[in-house]
Structure 1
Amino acid sequence: MASPPTIEVLSSTRVHPSTPQSTPTTTRLSIIDASVARFTPCGAIWFFPSPSLLPSSPAPSIAFSPSALKASLAHTLTSYPQWTGHLHMIPYVPNLPSRAYTQRYGRLGVHYGSPTDPGVAFVSAHISCTLASALPFHGPRENTTPTRKLYNCDAMLREDVLLPRTPLAGYTSPASHDDVSVAVQVTQFTCGGAAVGVKIAHCLADATALSQFMRDWSAVHAALISNSPLPEIHPVFEPWTLDQRATRDLDETVPDEEVLKAAYALPAHRYDWWASAEGSGFGPGAHAIPEVLREEPATREIAVEGEKMPWGTYDVPAPVSHTLIHYTAAQLDKIGAAASTPGPEDTREVNISRHDALVAQIWTLINRARWPENGDASKAVHANITFGLRTRVSPPLSPSFLGSPLQIAKVTLPWSVASSSTALPSIASSIKRTLNVFTPAAIAAQIYAIAHELSPQRLWQAFLGREHMLVTSWAHTGLYTCDFGTGGAPQYVHPIMPLVDGCVQIIEGAPIGPITEGKKWYEDGVDVAIYLEREAMARLVKDERIWL
């Protein structure tokens, strides 16, 4: 067996905006941002081939120079000053007779524009292997042919090597700390290729915001190394505007029960950390009511207690495997056609997208692979589907809106249905109908309800383990549309995800040809990353119905 490659850290520093703000500012994040504060960081690793291999590369020697990248990052951060500041929990004062919703427990803020800002962590490193050997395509292949591409990713280089180990600020961070909210690592391979890894506290950015930042940074970098005019970049950091989409007074001392009822009726889990200590795999600290809240009357009289987390269905320490399935555009069309085949009457009333069909297809594969563990064909299984709010609220948010405006919907079906390829139209229809419930009015009610929770971090809209699938989508993010001045797109992009049982990522495929304006997200194919308990994964990769 070959020895694992060795990583050498060459330098570690902090990067600040090249043009600092003149006045320090504190901005409170949206209530939706605060609600995702327990999430693992949002991040990805972009793998770029050696610029010397690209005949059109104008500046191969400095394209991934750490000093040039630090300079361009500093220029870019002038438009992203919030990401260099102090992310912290707003101090909470108990037992006030009344308070603004932004003063309730668990609210987050970011203080930036100060000389004491922590900046962005920047690590330069070198690794003793080629870029090709670091990619999933290099590893062992199962059930793979020229038109059927399925990769075992267990041995690929991961974020523990290609991202900084720098801890990030989080929702428990005090107002005074020196933790960064963003960390970057540039790793040079022996072949001249490079990996650019970025991770950020999830409450500051989702996949859309992170991808936008990478496009902005790469555009600034390309301009600087070619002595061209700097591009204009305009990220929108206005978190309060998402709260305003609630269209009601969030400062109300007594919440409107009808609005709360409408929010609680939405198809979403309300798993309650405070009510789920029994059987937990995370220890009592993860489920403790914050000390500052324990003596408040409202804490002792929670109006609507959430669901208890079903720890008996989730073997937290069980080994998890990571597999990547690549579907071509033609294969995705085939899945879409199968999911849209006229069947039960209800499938004809909704427009099933390729994305809906793909989620349905992956869910059936996972449920079949888990059958020996579940054993009960009538048992309910759940697809937890993350979706963005930028276009779902009224009026819509800017496409350049920074933050983490997302929620998670729940689709529940009996295993006998959710594991059947012949039921694909019904499954896809259930997914589409569920997502259609989240209208602007429904999202407004959800924002209102979360703003009146005792803690926005108390509830989780998803779960893992053998009865759950959690889908995050990086479609429509333009992951591959960043060029650091080499004239070439990334060879591969790996969105980071912890090895946990039941996570699925839907990712745009690497470009086959030139990246053109208006290209659809699936035209170059789609990568589906699946994280599943090891024995279930062994069954999934042998399922010929992967390809329909």
Structure 2
Amino acid sequence: MELARSKVVEPVLICGSNIKVGEIVRLVPSKPTPTGILYLSNIDLAVVFPVETIYFFRPPTSDKPSTEDIVDKMKDWLSRLLVPYHFLAGRLQLNPGDGRLELNSNRSGILFAGASSELTLAQLGDVSRPNPSFSNLFVRTDEFKELSNTPLMSMQVTRFKCGGFCVGLLVSHCLMDGQSAAEFLLNLASIARGESLLIEPKFDRTSLKPHIRPHINHRQHDLVEHRVSMPAFTASGTQVNSAKKLPEIRSCRTFTLTPEMLKRLKRTAMKDNTISKCSTFDVIVAHIWQARTKAVFQDPTQKSTVSFVVDIRSKVNPPLPKGFVGNGVVTAYATALARDVKENPLSYCVAEIQKAIASITDDYVRSRIDMLEFHRGIPVGNSGNFFLSPWWKLPFHELDFGWGKPVYAGPIVSNIAAHFVLVLSNGSHEGINVWITLGPAQMKNFEQFVSKL
């Protein structure tokens, strides 16, 4: 079955001649807030890098108010939200005693800017596609050289000629994972609509402290090789260095799986009765893993691994509280011989994904936290293996500031590394888009295998 394709409109690039950015200001909570030092977990310290996400909204319909003052409104809403989220206006610092990174909630502020563009939203084409000019839709923080001076969050609100607008958000990953960021934005949208907070934020991360005497009871496969830092999804297109040099010629493409295709994949996975259940997540990861293994691996005796994050909020004991703000995820992995992934039915791969998820227990998480006490950094893909980022599971597409839900909501897609696969909700909020980077021959093979449902 041929995969769905969307019509590509050649976009107009955003540049200095068609966008005007106003003064960048330091925004602090609108009311007095607590100050002090806050603990960062070992999971937080493994992801100290910025993540850029962007949210595009259509022009208002006739029954909606004008967006003419959207910049001033967003600035007011954000300063009010920073009262319960006061720690976002803090700064990182090294503890003078043990040199550990910690958060100083000191009201130093976040960066905020408004902008206007002479372009219409339609002129940007498909805003979910890679566009290097989207770097002009963010307030960057890389000019700051001192840790104690570097803002941990910035926002730029850009209004387009048609009345549509976008929100460019940059935030340090050590403060929030995807779920926390989504809840932050849903709270911001709730304030915008004149409503109360949907979720009360809770920053305390001390329940994720390591044991005084480390208990490393599980082999942490994906901690074998590390880098101390990792560039985020950024419009600058900075690459992550992998352990194995990537081909110089490669391309990034998107493949769409419609709801009907996903239903067909589930039926295929269940038809041999070897598994009793199959979620959408299970079958998406399994199908991409199998298709990519067939496209990339030549040696059948080589191990093929897919890694992905699992939310631990309900898996640790005691569970993390509702509204937990931080990094409440760890990496899980499914690994098997390339021959087994290629030759077995889809149900085999689904079962391996399910085993990987089931392995994330409280004991595993505590073991991971203890391991991170000695091994800082993040896992790096190599030998053809890859990490899958399931952004479609996060509720960013539910954002509504009063003008309807976004056309696109998610990370900047730009020059994705070859060991990384990004899975997003598509613009119609039906089905998913799979973003993948491979060499020409591998991409041709992947297209053939991923389309076989």
Query: Which TM-score band (shorter chain)?
Result: 0.7 to 0.9
Where do residues 65-104 of structure 1 align in structure 2 (5 Å cutoff)? 65-91=70-96, 93=97, 103=98
Distance 2:449 2:242 in 1: 31
Q: Give the drift of 1:158.
A: 5.8
Distance 1:310 1:491 in 2: 33
Q: Give the drift of 1:213.
A: 1.0
Match of 1:526 in 2: 432
Distance 1:9 1:368, change over 3 A: farther
- What secondary structure sits across from 2:78 in the alignment? helix
Match of 1:201 in 2: 172
Structure 2 unaligned runs (5+)? 1-9, 229-239
- Are the equivalent residues in 2 in contact too, given 1:184–1:197 (CA < 8 A)? yes
Match of 1:165 in 2: 140
Match of 1:268 in 2: 222
- Are the equivalent residues in 2 in contact too, given 1:388–1:407 (CA < 8 A)? yes
2:413 is aligned with 1:482? no
The one of 376, 389, 399 equivalent to 1:472 is: 389
- What secondary structure sits across from 1:183 in the alignment? strand
Distance 2:146 2:118 in 1: 36
Match of 1:108 in 2: 101
Distance 1:425 1:476, change over 3 A: same
Query: Could you give the per-residue CA deviations for residues 48-84 of structure 1, whole angstroms, max 9, x where no partner exists?
Result: 0011xx2432x2244x621111111101111110000
2:275 is aligned with 1:355? no
Match of 1:406 in 2: 329
- Are the equivalent residues in 2 in contact too, given 1:321–1:537 (CA < 8 A)? no
Query: Could you give the per-residue CA deviations for residues 119-163 of structure 1, whole angstroms, max 9, x where no partner exists?
Result: 1111222344332343437xxxxxxxxxxxxx9x34x35652322
- What secondary structure sits across from 2:193 in the alignment? helix
- Are the equivalent residues in 1 in contact too, given 2:183–2:199 (CA < 8 A)? no
Match of 1:126 in 2: 116
Opposite residue 222 of structure 2, the aligned amino acid is A
Query: Could you give the per-residue CA deviations for residues 464-504 of structure 1, whole angstroms, max 9, x where no partner exists?
Result: 35612111222442111111112x11011132355211212
Q: Give the drift of 1:406.
A: 1.8
Distance 1:504 1:470, change over 3 A: same
Distance 1:392 1:159 in 2: 37
Distance 2:207 2:114 in 1: 37
- Are the equivalent residues in 1 in contact too, given 2:300–2:339 (CA < 8 A)? yes
Opposite residue 112 of structure 1, the aligned amino acid is S
Where do residues 333-482 of structure 1 align in structure 2 (5 Å cutoff)? 333-342=263-272, 347-348=274-275, 351-370=277-296, 374-419=297-342, 423-451=345-373, 453=374, 456-457=375-376, 459-460=377-378, 462-464=379-381, 467-482=384-399
Q: Give the drift of 1:366.
A: 2.4
Q: TM-score, normalised by structure 2?
A: 0.85
Distance 1:379 1:46, change over 3 A: same
Distance 1:184 1:527, change over 3 A: same
Opposite residue 491 of structure 1, the aligned amino acid is V
- Are the equivalent residues in 2 in contact too, given 1:86–1:178 (CA < 8 A)? yes
2:163 is aligned with 1:192? yes
Q: Give the drift of 1:404.
A: 1.3
Distance 1:75 1:540, change over 3 A: farther
Distance 2:414 2:55 in 1: 17
Opposite residue 271 of structure 1, the aligned amino acid is E
Q: Give the drift of 1:203.
A: 0.7
Q: Give the drift of 1:240.
A: 0.9
Structure of higher CA gyration radius: 1
- What secondary structure sits across from 1:479 in the alignment? helix
Distance 1:135 1:417 in 2: 42
- What secondary structure sits across from 1:384 in the alignment? strand
Match of 1:323 in 2: 253
Q: Give the drift of 1:85.
A: 0.6
Distance 1:130 1:418 in 2: 46
Query: Could you give the per-residue CA deviations for residues 494-525 of structure 1, whole angstroms, max 9, x where no partner exists?
Result: 3235521121223334566xxxxxxxxxxx32
- Are the equivalent residues in 1 in contact too, given 2:423–2:434 (CA < 8 A)? yes
Match of 1:520 in 2: none
Report the RMSD for the aligned CA atoms in angstroms: 2.9
Distance 1:446 1:211 in 2: 25
Distance 2:149 2:395 in 1: 32
Opposite residue 20 of structure 2, the aligned amino acid is E
2:36 is aligned with 1:31? no
Distance 1:440 1:210 in 2: 24
Distance 1:232 1:446, change over 3 A: closer
Distance 1:213 1:351, change over 3 A: same
Distance 2:250 2:115 in 1: 28
- How many residue pairs match? The answer is 429
- What secondary structure sits across from 1:377 in the alignment? coil
- What secondary structure sits across from 1:543 in the alignment? helix
- What secondary structure sits across from 1:400 in the alignment? coil
2:423 is aligned with 1:506? yes
Opposite residue 409 of structure 2, the aligned amino acid is V
Q: TM-score, normalised by structure 1?
A: 0.71
Match of 1:13 in 2: 25
Distance 1:334 1:320 in 2: 30
**Same amino acid, percent of matched pairs:** 22
Opposite residue 201 of structure 2, the aligned amino acid is P
Distance 1:198 1:310 in 2: 27
Match of 1:496 in 2: 412
Match of 2:5 in 1: none
Query: Could you give the per-residue CA deviations for residues 202-221 of structure 1, whole angstroms, max 9, x where no partner exists?
Result: 11011111111111111112
Q: Give the drift of 1:385.
A: 1.3
- What secondary structure sits across from 2:23 in the alignment? strand
2:208 is aligned with 1:242? yes
Distance 1:60 1:541 in 2: 45
Distance 1:450 1:466, change over 3 A: closer
Query: Could you give the per-residue CA deviations for residues 283-338 of structure 1, whole angstroms, max 9, x where no partner exists?
Result: xxx9xxxxxxxxxxxxxxxxxxxxxx973x332x7355333333222221111222
Structure 1 unaligned runs (5+)? 94-102, 138-150, 224-228, 275-285, 287-308, 513-523
